[in-house]
Amino acid sequence: MYGGAPKGPQVRDLRAGVEIVIATPGRLIDMLDSRVTNLRRVTYLVLDEGDRMLDMGFEPQIRNIVSQVSWHTKVHAISACPATLGTRQLPLNQE
């Protein structure tokens, strides 16, 4: 799912049931805010290019998404440059 594309087909697919969702942060938040889907049953959450998202100012969106998953969800941030992620910490349990 990504912004700039019609929401209708994306909403239809989500409501039909999916096992894997790949989404941009903004479109995922749109779907969550409109209650088309939720993250309660997510087992794995992968943030691709997490360091770049932080560099680009997406920390509020990342916090929003991560705050909606269950405590037992495994959250992974990956990057093309893994060393850059090792130097960052995002305190997700703080408000």
Higher pLDDT, 66 or 90: 66
pLDDT digits (tens, 9 = 90+) for 33-67: 999 999 988 999 988 888 888 889 998 999 999 99
Residue that has been written with the tokens 């799912």 in this structure: 1
Q: Which domains does the chain have, with CATH numbers?
A: 7-86 (3.40.50.300)
pTM exceeds 0.85 for this model: no
pLDDT digits (tens, 9 = 90+) for 11-33: 999 999 889 999 989 999 999 99
* Dihedral (Cα; 48, 73, 5, 37), 10-degree rounding: -170
Q: 7-16 and 25-33 helices cross at what angle (nearest 10)?
A: 70
